[in-house]
Each structure stands twice: as C-alpha cells, then as structure tokens.
Amino acid sequence: MLKPEMIAKLNEQITAEMYASNLYLQMSAWCEEQGLSGAAAFFRQHVPEELSHRDKFIDYLIECDAPVTVGAVAAPPTEFKNLVDMINKAFEHELKVTALINAMAEMALDFKDFNTFNMLQFFIAEQREEEVLFRGILDQVKLVAFKGETGEAMYLINQYLQRLATTHSH
C-alpha cells in the first residue's frame, strides 16, 4: 500500500508530465512560427512521449489501488528570445524533472517502497537520456557559435534538430 505522501508525489508528477507535454507543444508551435520546421519537428516529437509518461504514472497508481488526481496544469511560456534561449529552457526543464524523479526515488527508498522505486527506474534512465540529448544539442550550438541570430548557424542547428527528430525515437 502506498503511503499518502507517495501518492501525492506521484499525482504531482502526472501534472508535471502534462506540463512538459504542453511546454514541448508550445515550443514546437513557436518554432513553426519562426520558420524552424526542423526544430518544430524535434519538439513535437517529445509531446506524445511526455503523455506516455503521464499514463505510466496513472497506470501505476491504479495498479496500486491508489487515487489518481489530475491537477491544474500551468500554461507554458509562449515567447522565447530565440532558438538558443528555447533550447536552454528545455534543458533546464529536463533538469527540474530529473530532480522531481530523484526526489520520488529517494522517498520510495526512505519508505522502503521498493515497488515504486523499481517503477521509477524507467524514469531515472529516461531522464539521463534526455539530459544527454539536450547537452549534445547545446554542444552543437557552441560548436557552430550559435547565439540565436539568424543565418548559417541557425540553419545548421535547425537541420541538426531535424535529423534528431527523424533518427531519435523514444
């Protein structure tokens, strides 16, 4: 039986995953508005992934006969200074999600809730993958000295993100 504190954290994560989905959808739309179809495809690809994460948390709570509470989802930002700013914000968001997942894993261990700890291993590995992915993108940004301005560097990063969208599946 899950402790009430763990149930609360798992339900909070459902809302966090919904926010992540909306964030990436908004980022994709912003990229489309800027004519960055490659970046738009990359961020759009993350939307169903975040929704599948939401569903995993819901399913786990149901399997544990625990109540599911879907909380209100804050609106994501709609404006970004430029593509680099947006990529940095996406990376910062993934770091926050990692912290949330790690805090739940720590709580599960504290409670000797090994089933929840085991379930969270998928998300721990997933967050490592996301951090590596976004660090790699930021490395490419640095490599081409892209600071957000239009021109060749923006074109190269947009093309790089397009390649990731077509080769990187979750």
Encoded amino acid at 85, one letter: D
| Tokens coding 34 | 């800027």
3-state helix, strand, coil in the chain (%, to 5): 75, 0, 25
Q: Is 17 annotated as a binding residue?
A: yes
**Angle made by CA atoms 140, 81, 163, in degrees to the nearest 5:** 35
Q: Is 46 annotated as a binding residue?
A: no
Q: Is 12 annotated as a binding residue?
A: no
Q: Is 93 annotated as a binding residue?
A: no
Q: Is 94 annotated as a binding residue?
A: yes
Does residue 120 sit in helix, strand or coil?
helix
Contacts of 75 by beta carbon, 8 Å cutoff, 6+ apart: 22
Cα 122 from chain centroid (whole Å):
14
Which DSSP string corresponds to 83-118?
A: HHHHHHHHHHHHHHHHHHHHHHHHHHHHTT-HHHHH
Annotated binding site for Fe cation: 17, 50, 53, 94, 127
Annotated binding site: 17, 50, 53, 94, 127
